[in-house]
Structure formats: C-alpha cells, structure tokens
Amino acid sequence: MHVRHLTVADFRSYASADLPLETGVTTLVGLNGQGKTNLVEAVGYLATLSSHRVATDQPLVRFGAEQAVIRAAVVRDGRETLVELELNPGRANRARLNRSPVPRPREVLGTLRTVLFAPEDLALVKGDPSERRRFVDDLLVARQPRWAGVRSDYDRILKQRNALLKSAAPVLRRGRRPPPRPGTEPPEEAQASALHTLDVWNDHLSTVGAQLLYARLRLLRDLGPYLAKAYDEVSAGQSDARVSYRSSLREEAAAQLAAGEVPDVEVLRAELLATLEEVRGREVERGVSLVGPHRDDLVLTLGDLPAKGYASHGESWSFALGLKLAAYQLLRHDLGEDPVLVLDDVFAELDVGRRERLAAMVADCEQVLITAAVDADVPASLLGRTYAVSLGEVVLRE
Ligand SMILES: Nc1ncnc2c1ncn2[C@@H]1O[C@H](COP(=O)(O)OP(=O)(O)OP(=O)(O)O)[C@@H](O)[C@H]1O
Ligand SMILES: [Mg+2]
C-alpha cells in the first residue's frame, strides 16, 4: 500500500501542508527543526492513532489552535481510501473514512499500515520494559486491529484491579479482628467480600491477560527469524540478534516461555491465576498488580550478551532498526502487501557499510518515506524524489 496524498491542518508546526506522494522513495531534506519529522509523524499517527514522540495529543495540535486534522489518500490494491482524523485534545477525536464519520477512531486501524523507525526507537534497546511491550503490542494491532480492543480491555481491568488493591488493602491485610462495634459491618464479612471481588478481578485479568500473552508469544516466535535475518543483513553478519520473552509468571513457566515455548491459552490462564494466588500477600502490601503482561519484558541479545547495557551505540541503533525491519517483513508476509516504511533520521547514525546495506534492503519496498538533515546522509542510490523542507514550506526539488 502507499499514501498518494497527505494533507495536514494545524498539525504541529504546520498551519497547513499538502504533499502529493508516489510509490518508491521520497526523501524530506531540511535543517533541524524545519518540520520533516512532523510530516512523517502525521503519517504514523493515521496508522496507529498514536505518536512515536509523545503520549498525549496536545503537542500535536499547532500551538494556539483548537484542533488538528490529518488526511491521507491511501492506495491499496489499486483502490483508494480517504482517511481523516480530527484531533481534539481534551475531547474525543473523530475519524472519517471516505468522508463518512465512523463511530470510533479505532475503526480506521488497518486502513493504513506503517512501520516507522525514528531516533526514539533507541529506547527499544536502552529504555524501560514499557517501550518493548509497546513495540510488540503495536505490532499485534498492526497485524490484526482487533487486538486494540483486547489491549484496552486489559488496561481497564488492570486499572480497576489496582484500584481495588489500594482501596481494600486495609481490609484485605487484617487478619483476626476484635469484635465489631455495633452498627458497623463485621470485619470478617468485609474481608470475605473484598476477597471475593479480588477473585473476580483475578479471573478477568487472567482471561484477558492470557490472550494477550499468547498473542505476544506467537508474535515473537514469528518475528525471531526475521529479526535474525534483518540484523545479519544490516551488520554484515557481525553477530546474532535474538529476542525472547521475560514473563512475570512463576519460575518454571517463565523458563518455558523464555525458551520460546508457546503453551495453549488455557494453560497460560491457569498459570496466571496460580501466580496471582502466590503473590497475593505482596500485592496487598504494595497495592499494585504484580503479575501479568503489563509486568513482562522482551530480552534482546546480541551474540552471547544482553543488548541492554552491553551493545555499542551503533549496535543498539542497528538492533532497534533490525526490530523494525523485522516487523516490516513480518507484516509484508502476513498481509501479502507492503506497509509504508518510514525512516526518520536513520542514516546519520550508521556507518557507511550499514547505510549502503540498509539502502539495498529497502529499495524494493512499495513506499519509503525518509527524512534527513542533509542529502549526504542518504546513500545516493536511495534519495528518490526529494522535498526540501524549510520553515514549514515543503517544496519538490527538481
Ligand atoms: N504543537 C506545535 N505547535 C507549533 N510548533 C510546533 C509544535 N510542535 C512542534 N513544533 C515545532 O516543530 C519543529 C520541529 O519539527 P520537526 O520535529 O519536524 O523537525 P525536523 O525537521 O524533523 O528536525 P530535526 O532535523 O531536528 O529532526 C520545532 O521547531 C517545534 O518547535
Ligand atoms: Mg526530525
């Protein structure tokens, strides 16, 4: 698939911008702070309903404006779809497909698929577990948009379970009590009721958590070979890049998952429940949920060493890039069509060999959008159509 036309209004630094695009490579070149990333960020937002740079929508709306609009004509198998998003910070965002409003923005997921690599992705290797969880979960959604629903169900359950752990902690914690004062609820009853409610949330958490866990494990199993190949190609065979899953389950089950096994959903659900039982005391003590996909992590290894803390800057960068290229290949094979590949500022950080090899790897993608501060960063073979971006003006260079 590819974007044939991108329009933004009051998005980031742009009052308005209008960018016709074609298949093949398009490069946006310009000095720092001129608005290159802003444009590709808009493309990424249409595909994922989130920015790769910020967690809230407010910074995406041009300073002083009320709302931002992103609109793209997406071509897929020769058919064109117009996707439109209206970002209304503090109020609900709105979306339209072919000019008809859809009930929820989530309905547009899947219309445009992108794989975006940006400097922020270095956090995949160097950052917190949440960065890596977001990577797998975003990829799940890119593969099958219905996972967006499962993911938000899980987040809701987790929030409510944590709220219960906090509010009921005093009741859950106390053991035997003196006889109740007249007119108050007997403590045993209050405790039994809180325990019962906690059981209900354990049930929800393990049911939805097991689905998410299972999907992540399957995804990693599929992604592994693509990662190994992508890293091998970028680094010219310097070392093996691997990814495995670190779960918050009990030791034996966690070891199984780390070894790449993918148990059935029912097995995972039972294991989640059993682990929840085991950590109840600590959870009540701390007032947070200590077990489940929200506590898990991916372990990235390069050769025999963990990437985090050991890999060099260039290696970490290449690893993060390898993960994104692997995601691209996985989606391409899964869906039988090319997502749009976005490479934001990727070349400047790579040595010459890696730049050339990356250029060769992406040359056959249906559409690649590249940003760079200077032409010299991008291998000449890849430059493609070039736009000069300066103070929010985007001009095609002949
Ligand atoms: N909500 C906003 N309203 C107005 N201007 C904004 C907003 N958000 C960001 N900007 C401006 O957009 C500019 C950054 O644009 P962008 O990140 O696209 O730059 P860039 O061309 O990618 O630069 P670099 O080469 O440094 O990556 C900054 O000058 C910033 O002040
Ligand atoms: Mg930039």
Give the per-residue pLDDT at 182: 65
Regarding whether 142 and 169 lie in a shared domain, the answer is yes
Query: Which residue is closest in CA terms to ligand 1's atom 19?
Result: 33
Q: Pick the residue with more confidence: 79 or 171?
A: 79
CA of 379 to the centre of ligand 1 (A): 25
| Contact call for residues 134 and 52 (beta carbons, < 8 A) | no
Most confident of 44-48, 173-177, 391-395: 44-48
Query: Which mutation among 11, 31, 37 tests ligand 1's pocket best, with the greatest number of atoms within 8 A of CB?
Result: 37
Average pLDDT over residues 312-325: 95
Regarding whether 288 and 247 lie in a shared domain, the answer is yes
Mapped onto helix, strand or coil, the DSSP state of residue 391 is coil
Q: Is the pLDDT of residue 160 over 60?
A: yes
Mapped onto helix, strand or coil, the DSSP state of residue 17 is strand
Q: Provide the pLDDT confidence category of residue 184 given band limits of 50, 70 and 90.
A: low
CA of 120 to the centre of ligand 2 (A): 10
Q: Which ligand is nearest to the CA of 10?
A: 1
Q: Provide the pLDDT confidence category of residue 219 given band limits of 50, 70 and 90.
A: very high
pLDDT tens-place string over residues 302-311: 999 999 999 9
Tokens encoding 395: 């001009």
Regarding whether 296 and 347 lie in a shared domain, the answer is no
Average pLDDT over residues 191-211: 93
Distance CA 194, CA 174 (A): 12
CA of 14 to the centre of ligand 1 (A): 9
Mean pLDDT, the chain, rounded, equals 94
Q: Are strands 79-87 and 241-246 parallel, antiparallel or unpaired?
A: unpaired
Give the per-residue pLDDT at 43: 98
Q: Which ligand is nearest to the CA of 116?
A: 2
Query: Which residue is closest in CA terms to ligand 1's atom 14?
Result: 33
Tokens encoding 229: 């190949």
% of residues, the chain, pLDDT over 70: 97
Parent domain of 18:
1-113+339-398
Phi, psi of 28 (to 5 degrees): -100, 120
Regarding whether 384 and 329 lie in a shared domain, the answer is no
Give the per-residue pLDDT at 176: 42
CA of 392 to the centre of ligand 1 (A): 9
Specify the CATH number for the domain of residue 268.
1.20.1050.90
Q: Which ligand is nearest to the CA of 373?
A: 1
Final residue of a domain: which of 288, 312, 335? Answer: 335
Q: Is the pLDDT of residue 180 over 80?
A: no
Regarding whether 57 and 108 lie in a shared domain, the answer is yes
Query: Which residue is closest in CA terms to ligand 1's atom 18?
Result: 35
pLDDT tens-place string over residues 265-300: 999 999 999 999 999 989 988 999 999 999 999 999
The ligand 1 atom at the shortest distance from the C-alpha of residue 63 is: 3
CA of 36 to the centre of ligand 1 (A): 8
Give the per-residue pLDDT at 274: 97
CA of 37 to the centre of ligand 2 (A): 4
| Contact call for residues 14 and 8 (beta carbons, < 8 A) | yes
Residue that the structure tokens 């050339």 belong to: 356
Q: Is the pLDDT of residue 101 over 50?
A: yes
Regarding whether 86 and 29 lie in a shared domain, the answer is yes
Final residue of a domain: which of 313, 335, 357? Answer: 335
Average pLDDT over residues 161-179: 76
CA distance to 74, 80, 88, per residue, from 84 (Å): 11, 13, 13
The ligand 1 atom at the shortest distance from the C-alpha of residue 58 is: 1
Q: Provide the pLDDT confidence category of residue 245 given band limits of 50, 70 and 90.
A: very high
| Contact call for residues 370 and 28 (beta carbons, < 8 A) | yes
Regarding whether 139 and 285 lie in a shared domain, the answer is yes
Q: Which ligand is nearest to the CA of 59?
A: 1
Q: Is the pLDDT of residue 360 over 60?
A: yes
The ligand 1 atom at the shortest distance from the C-alpha of residue 53 is: 17
CA of 8 to the centre of ligand 2 (A): 17
CA of 60 to the centre of ligand 1 (A): 10
Q: Is the pLDDT of residue 205 over 60?
A: yes
Q: Given CA atoms 317, 320, 323, 326 in this order, what sign does their dihedral have?
A: negative
Query: Which mutation among 13, 19, 393 tests ligand 1's pocket best, with the greatest number of atoms within 8 A of CB?
Result: 13
Q: Is the pLDDT of residue 177 over 60?
A: no
Regarding whether 346 and 320 lie in a shared domain, the answer is no
Regarding whether 316 and 353 lie in a shared domain, the answer is no
The ligand 1 atom at the shortest distance from the C-alpha of residue 39 is: 18
Regarding whether 384 and 245 lie in a shared domain, the answer is no
The ligand 1 atom at the shortest distance from the C-alpha of residue 34 is: 21
pLDDT tens-place string over residues 60-95: 999 999 999 999 999 999 999 999 999 999 999 999
Q: Which ligand is nearest to the CA of 38?
A: 1
Regarding whether 255 and 158 lie in a shared domain, the answer is yes
- Number of separate domains in the chain: 2
Q: Is the pLDDT of residue 369 over 80?
A: yes
Specify the CATH number for the domain of residue 394.
3.40.50.300
Q: Provide the pLDDT confidence category of residue 172 given band limits of 50, 70 and 90.
A: confident
Regarding whether 92 and 33 lie in a shared domain, the answer is yes
Residues with CB under 6 A from ligand 1: 12-13, 30, 32-38, 59, 61-63, 345, 371, 373
Final residue of a domain: which of 297, 318, 335? Answer: 335
